[in-house]
Chains A and B, each alone.
Chain A
Amino acid sequence: MDWSFFTEVLVGGLLSGVMYSLVAIGFVLIYKTSGVLNFAQGALLLFAALTFVSLTERGLPFWAGIALTLAAMTAIGALIERTVLRPLVNQPPITLFMATLGVSYVIEGAAQLLWGTQVHGLDLGIDDLPLEIGGVLISTFDLFAAAVAGAMVAGLTLFFRYTRIGLGFRAVADDPLAALAVGLSLDRIWTAVWTASGVVALVAGLLWGARLGVQFSLSLVVLKALPVLVLGGFDSIAGAIVGGLIVGAVEKLAEVYAGPLVGGGIEGWIAYVAALGFLLIRPAGLFGAKPVERV
């Protein structure tokens, strides 16, 4: 056994997992407060990255591009909440899920309509040259992405614990009726949470865009987030991080060590096998809240 190579695969997998977590966090934010599995998160990510890169290619400075894209994501988040989800309040979860599926197609179409179909490069100014630490190659870009993800989780944790609106999020997540009874505005909070999800989509979109190029396939990264959510729980940010790390590591180790035994190409589905197996043992995921119903 070449332990140096094993470590390299493991570290590479963990860092890839952080990228999956970035997408999963967007799902968690919406699910935590409104119980909706937002399938449009991938399309939001595509729209954010495409808007940013199109604006900067037209000569807008980096930070102005960020600001304008943030404004666009805020507007889209508010629009989705106002025009799609609010009228569907109290409908079964599957109806809301299907609505977000529809929203996903609309956003993808609108993104291409507005900004065109061309593939764009996105340079965030971080060289992706390999860094050798103890004989193990580590991607500098992946390290940067991990740092961004860490900062985002820390920021979200502080936001949920210490800000008025963050506490409002938690109150709505715990019991929407009780939150309503104490005077919290559900509409305002849901609009805010969709906006926050748009911000997460922008961060994830920039990092994934720099990795893959800004192109339609960005919306497919949601497929990487789903097993992460199953493993970590749909309503836990910490779960999204831990789930991402597990999925990343399992994928890479399985592909490298088990893949050759079965002809390779198992990376695409092995994470789902792990997630399914986990579902059988712990249906709410590692950190997900166990549903309790009074009968």
Chain B
Amino acid sequence: MSRPHTLALSAKAALFGALLAGASLLPAAAHADEQYFPLQSYRVGPYAAGGTGFFGGFIDYLNLINTRDGGVNGVKLTWDECETQYEVERGVECYKRQKSKTGVAAWNPLSVGIAYAMIDDIARDKVPLITVNHGRTDSTDGRVFKHVFPLLLNPYSESSGIVNYIAAREGGLDKLKGKKIAVLYHGSPYGKETIPIYQLLAEKYGFTAEQIEVPHPGNEQQSQWLSIRRSKPDYVVLRGWGVMNPVALKTAQKVGFPADRIIGNVWSNSEEDVIPAGDAAKGYTAITTQASGADYPVLQEIVKTVYGAGKGNLDDKKRVGSVYHNLGIVNGILNVEAVRIAQEKFGKRTLTGDEVRWGFEHLRLDPKRVEALGAKGLFHSINVTVANHEGEGRVTFQQWDGAKWKVVSDWIAPDWALLRPIIEKSSLAYAAQHGITVRDPAAEDASN
């Protein structure tokens, strides 16, 4: 075994020891000029591959800001990790333990289950909960969900973006009429969340939506794909998670369904989803809010400044620029910029969670600002408001060529106007059920 591997094993052994001891990885306590990010990460367990990539990217970006800029306007960023193994009860335990520290900026659990479990508590604590690319769709309505931010993309926007992309491939939305689209979804609340929206989109554009459930965890899909072969859809949308994704691609190959007619959703778009499928994944296309690759200036700076100083978070440097790592970096950019924006209003000091929430509600990064941050092409833009906590993120599509993802579309806008009434209907019902007073964005903007 080569020396780097030996070192990597030693590092992992130390990590495991720390986990066994129930200790945090990077103990950090926020002081007067520090802003603290509690990380409910998952580096072991079934979803560790995604967790190490995402939290690795997030930490790499926070490290870049500290190393290169000395923090945000002199306020150092601190963080610590608490292992959840993607389990809700552990995530909640971590939340209870980490929330006692001062200067909590925002929570970023990257887990639908943990996020759902925290929604009531974070409203009481008045600290923002970030669910980048996921979370409950109706939390887009910031009038009701004041502290929850499904940044860049919610499940409904994702569905609309995918349909718009298919339409673009077919030559226009009118060409969808008479087509058949099968949606192969994970048998979980996450997987089922988009059933009504695909139905709505099918009615609006005149295509047939055939929605097929794959029982968790999805390691057996022969019957679903035989049904697909029989019904001969024009496209299959893969709304998968974990092992379901490579198994879908391999089983599609088994029944002769072409990979380039399968469009993956945002949790079916990583290297971990395609590499195990081997050649069966060649030509497969998936939606993303952030392009992969390490050619962007911000990535280059991370490689030079953070990894160059031996502070990189990923054991395997080859994963820099992978889908989950880049999502972590984009998430880092959004969190840091929210803090920066809030500092402009409240002062260059440690902010309260509610002040950072204000920063998120004014997180407006146009393509020019994104370029200045070294992220041109990595993601498009974001425009969060009091009423819109998703922020009108654009999506793009990447195709797997057997070795890497290649962007194959422009930045596409979902049909927000179509989706907004459904989102509001659900959020207002939630408000009524929970006795929440719906905020008035115009009044709040006027008072700011």
CB-nearest residue of chain A to B278: A121
CB-nearest residue of chain A to B5: A58
Asked if B222 CB lies within 8 Å of chain A CBs, one says: yes
Please indicate the chain A residues that have their CB under 8 angstroms from the CB of B315 in the complex: 116
A121 touches B212 (CB 8 A): no
Q: Is the interface of B mostly helix, strand, loop or mixed?
A: helix
CB-nearest residue of chain A to B211: A264
Which residue in A16, A120, A259, A269 is a CB contact (below 8 Å) of B220?
A16
Please indicate the chain B residues that have their CB under 8 angstroms from the CB of A212 in the complex: 219, 243, 246-247, 276
A8 touches B217 (CB 8 A): no
B222 touches A120 (CB 8 A): no
Please indicate the chain A residues that have their CB under 8 angstroms from the CB of B48 in the complex: 112, 117, 216
- Greatest chain A CB density within 10 A among B47, B212, B213 is at B213
Asked if B52 CB lies within 8 Å of chain A CBs, one says: yes
Please indicate the chain B residues that have their CB under 8 angstroms from the CB of A213 in the complex: 243, 246, 275-277
A238 to B297 alpha-carbon distance, docked (Å): 61
A109 to B46 alpha-carbon distance, docked (Å): 11
Q: Distance (Å) between the CB of A225 and the closest chain B CB?
A: 12
Q: Is the interface of A mostly helix, strand, loop or mixed?
A: helix
A251 touches B256 (CB 8 A): no
Q: Could you say which of B9-17, B29-37, B111-119 contacts chain A?
A: B9-17
Question: A206-233 CB contact bits vs B (8 Å, 1 = yes)?
Answer: 0000011111110011001000000000
B250 touches A211 (CB 8 A): yes
CB contacts under 8 Å to B, within A1-57, are 2, 5, 8-9, 12-13, 16
Q: Could you say which of B153-161, B162-170, B223-231, B332-340 contacts chain A?
A: B223-231
CB contacts under 8 Å to A, within B50-74, are 51-52
B223 touches A251 (CB 8 A): yes
Q: Could you say which of A122-130, A145-153, A168-176 contacts chain B?
A: A122-130
A8 to B230 alpha-carbon distance, docked (Å): 11
CB-nearest residue of chain A to B191: A265
A215 touches B44 (CB 8 A): no
Please indicate the chain A residues that have their CB under 8 angstroms from the CB of B215 in the complex: 265-269
A222 to B365 alpha-carbon distance, docked (Å): 48
Asked if B327 CB lies within 8 Å of chain A CBs, one says: no
CB-nearest residue of chain A to B216: A268
Asked if B255 CB lies within 8 Å of chain A CBs, one says: yes
A139 to B222 alpha-carbon distance, docked (Å): 10
A256 touches B275 (CB 8 A): no
CB-nearest residue of chain A to B256: A130
Q: Distance (Å) between the CB of A19 and the closest chain B CB?
A: 8
CB-nearest residue of chain B to A270: B215
CB-nearest residue of chain B to A19: B220
A266 to B213 alpha-carbon distance, docked (Å): 9
B213 touches A216 (CB 8 A): no
Asked if A263 CB lies within 8 Å of chain B CBs, one says: yes
Asked if B187 CB lies within 8 Å of chain A CBs, one says: yes
Please indicate the chain A residues that have their CB under 8 angstroms from the CB of B91 in the complex: none
A215 touches B49 (CB 8 A): yes
A123 touches B243 (CB 8 A): no
Asked if A94 CB lies within 8 Å of chain B CBs, one says: no
Q: Distance (Å) between the CB of A102 and the closest chain B CB?
A: 14
CB contacts under 8 Å to A, within B349-373, are none
Q: Distance (Å) between the CB of B21 and the closest chain A CB?
A: 14
Please indicate the chain B residues that have their CB under 8 angstroms from the CB of A91 in the complex: none
User: On chain B, which size bracket covers the interface?
Assistant: 35 or more
Please indicate the chain A residues that have their CB under 8 angstroms from the CB of B278 in the complex: 121, 123
Please indicate the chain B residues that have their CB under 8 angstroms from the CB of A129 in the complex: 253-254
B223 touches A121 (CB 8 A): no
A289 to B410 alpha-carbon distance, docked (Å): 65
Please indicate the chain A residues that have their CB under 8 angstroms from the CB of B255 in the complex: 130, 137
Please indicate the chain B residues that have their CB under 8 angstroms from the CB of A16 in the complex: 220, 222
Please indicate the chain B residues that have their CB under 8 angstroms from the CB of A119 in the complex: 49, 246, 272, 275-276
A121 touches B217 (CB 8 A): no
B213 touches A263 (CB 8 A): yes
A230 to B49 alpha-carbon distance, docked (Å): 34
Asked if B316 CB lies within 8 Å of chain A CBs, one says: yes
CB-nearest residue of chain A to B43: A117
Please indicate the chain B residues that have their CB under 8 angstroms from the CB of A139 in the complex: 254
Which residue in B45, B219, B280 is a CB contact (below 8 Å) of A128?
B280
Asked if B393 CB lies within 8 Å of chain A CBs, one says: no
Asked if A89 CB lies within 8 Å of chain B CBs, one says: no
Please indicate the chain B residues that have their CB under 8 angstroms from the CB of A114 in the complex: 9, 12
A109 to B44 alpha-carbon distance, docked (Å): 7
A113 to B83 alpha-carbon distance, docked (Å): 14
Asked if B414 CB lies within 8 Å of chain A CBs, one says: no
CB-nearest residue of chain A to B318: A118
Asked if A255 CB lies within 8 Å of chain B CBs, one says: yes
B49 touches A5 (CB 8 A): no
Asked if B242 CB lies within 8 Å of chain A CBs, one says: yes
Please indicate the chain B residues that have their CB under 8 angstroms from the CB of A12 in the complex: 222-223, 226
A256 touches B256 (CB 8 A): no
CB-nearest residue of chain B to A257: B223
Please indicate the chain A residues that have their CB under 8 angstroms from the CB of B229 in the complex: 137
B49 touches A224 (CB 8 A): no
A9 touches B219 (CB 8 A): no
Asked if B442 CB lies within 8 Å of chain A CBs, one says: no
List 16 A-B pairs, Cβ < 8 Å.
A5-B230, A9-B223, A16-B220, A58-B2, A117-B43, A117-B52, A118-B272, A120-B276, A123-B278, A142-B254, A212-B276, A217-B242, A251-B223, A256-B226, A267-B215, A268-B215
User: Which B residues lie at the A interface, using CB under 8 A?
Assistant: 1-2, 5, 8-9, 12-13, 15-16, 43-49, 51-52, 187, 212-217, 219-220, 222-224, 226-227, 229-230, 242-243, 246-247, 250, 253-256, 272, 275-278, 280, 315-316, 319
Other contacts beyond A112-B44, A119-B276, A215-B49: 14, CB < 8 A: A5-B226, A13-B223, A16-B220, A109-B44, A112-B48, A114-B9, A117-B48, A121-B277, A137-B255, A212-B247, A220-B219, A224-B220, A256-B227, A266-B215
List the 7 closest A-B pairs by CB distance, nearest first.
Answer: A213-B276, A268-B215, A265-B213, A117-B48, A255-B223, A217-B243, A119-B272
